[in-house]
Chain A
Amino acid sequence: DAGVIQSPRHEVTEMGQEVTLRCKPISGHNSLFWYRQTMMRGLELLIYFNNNVPIDDSGMPEDRFSAKMPNASFSTLKIQPSEPRDSAVYFCASKVPGGGYNEQFFGPGTRLTVL
């Protein structure tokens, strides 16, 4: 099993540019989560999907952030326009159907630097 796949692993961009982060969940997992990790705020849940449908996006910081899940095997997190304060590590995680006893499996993360 390849695990959760994220791309790119590193992204350096300039302020104002559009950034797209990609995630491929583990096959058979029907829940997908996007997190952001910074030194100041720790690990924050941005949005999560269940069966490709966004369930709660209350963690998305601003309208500049958007996420989609067009099918069960692919999700994107887009930032447009990007700002230096968006610099962070962004993680994607997935989970099998079922109750709260099922753990989330995390990808390796995308380290975003906005100059």
Chain B
Amino acid sequence: AQSVTQLGSHVSVSEGALVLLRCNYSSSVPPYLFWYVQYPNQGLQLLLKYTSAATLVKGINGFEAEFKKSETSFHLTKPSAHMSDAAEYFCAVSVDSGYSTLTFGKGTMLLVSP
């Protein structure tokens, strides 16, 4: 079975500062990894995904994530935070097994202060 751990339920940054949201996964087979963002009162929207092509994945809104197999990590970064980045971020893992459901982490709320 797969699992995801997101370190920190809340992360606070200042506008213009680096954003780093941490995600570690556990999987006995090669994983596919996803970051979703949820803005207030909305559904989840895909930010980016890792599907075993390039280890550095670029997504929407200037976010990127790097797959590090040795560290079983898939941390999400953005060089400069914007007020509009304030949202909840979910890391998720899937594998090519059965019906390929997603296993989500508990989410990290990103707070951006002016």
Taking beta carbons and an 8 Å cutoff, which residues of A are in contact with B? 4, 31, 33, 42-43, 45, 48, 50, 55-56, 91, 93, 95, 99-109, 111
Contacts and interface: CB of A to CB of B under 8 A. Distances in A.
A16 B5 CA distance: 37
Contacts of B110: none
Contact of B49 (A33, A42, A101): A101
Contacts of B80: none
A48 B94 CA distance: 15
Size range of the interface on B? 20 to 34
B101 interface: yes
Q: Which label, helix, strand, loop or mixed, suits the secondary structure of the B interface? A: loop
A100 B49 contact: no
20 contacts: A4-B43, A33-B101, A42-B104, A42-B106, A43-B90, A43-B104, A45-B102, A56-B99, A93-B44, A99-B100, A100-B94, A100-B96, A101-B52, A101-B96, A103-B34, A104-B102, A106-B45, A108-B42, A108-B43, A111-B41
Contacts of A31: 99
Given A48-B99, A103-B34, 4 more contacts: A4-B43, A55-B99, A100-B97, A101-B94
B49 to A, nearest CB: 6
Contacts of A91: 43-44
Contacts of B100: 95, 99-100, 102
B96 A50 contact: no
B95 interface: yes
Contacts of B46: 103, 105
B43 A99 contact: no
Contacts of B95: 100
Closest 5 A/B residue pairs (Cβ): A100-B94, A100-B100, A106-B43, A101-B51, A106-B44
